[in-house]
Amino acid sequence: MNGKIVSWNVNGLRAVERRGLLQPFLKEHKPDILCLQEIKIDEESHKKTKVTFLGYGEHWNYGERPGYSGTAILVKSKFGVSKVVHGLGKEYSDSEGRVITAEFPRFYLVNAYFPNSRPDLSRLNFKRDFNNAILKHIIKLNKKKPVIITGDYNVAHEPIDLARPKENEGKHGYHSREREWFGKLLEAGFVDTFRAQHPNKVQYSWWSTRFGQKARTNNVGWRIDYFVVSKRLASKIKSSSILNQVQGSDHCPVMLEMDI
């Protein structure tokens, strides 16, 4: 069955809905599975919003800190989810609602909001621990059935994945320890679907808002949102794309179409 999976760091669910951009996006792209990161909403606040996902089964992992982090997986009913697990069993990161794992008949889907190591690198060790824990998690899952790992990885892997690699060498999001971990992920039997399909394509999924929309207007961006899959799923991929025309967040959605 052909399916369309979309991943989007919305940088605040309420904010993207207030701008009137969420429903038109769903209507146009019609994802079968939608993975959200950085929803920035707690359960009580969510109940009071008018945000709706008609036709989707909803699985939310809220962060404990109000207005911070959090993830969600929304699934159309025809794609049955047999089990959903929140977190990695690590209190230091699970309290931030960073990971949801959904089990489908033929694969696992892991939606993750990877930590930002911060400009002063004060969270580099936190991110290292998170990265190692999630890698262990997906390797274990991969022994049972193939895995799709999507989300905001908060790292550009190679120079082609950001507009100004020399200027950002050693900085957060392009630190050698972060990039080396991404390499280990691929070496463990996984494929970066966009780069596999588009070896030389320059396209980004995030733009700094430090100077308003200037970075996005000038396309000074980073590719930090990925679909990574088990190698044995590679032949099932129809397309892997970046929807950089979609507004509403400092990130744009990424999409994977495949036989699921």
Active site residues: 113, 152
Per-residue buried b or exposed e for 167-185, using 16+ beta carbons within 10 Å of the residue's own CB: ebeeebbbbeebbebbeeb
Strand, coil or helix: what is 104? Answer: coil
Q: Which residues pair with 213 in a beta bridge?
A: none
Cβ atoms of 129 and 117 within 8 Å: the answer is: no
Q: How far apart are the first and last CA of the chain?
A: 6
Strands 237-242 and 99-103: unpaired
Q: Which residues pair with 4 in a beta bridge?
A: 257
What one-character-per-residue DSSP string does 160-175 give? GGBS-HHHHTTSTTS-
Q: How far apart are the C-alpha atoms of 50 and 61, rounded to whole Å?
A: 18
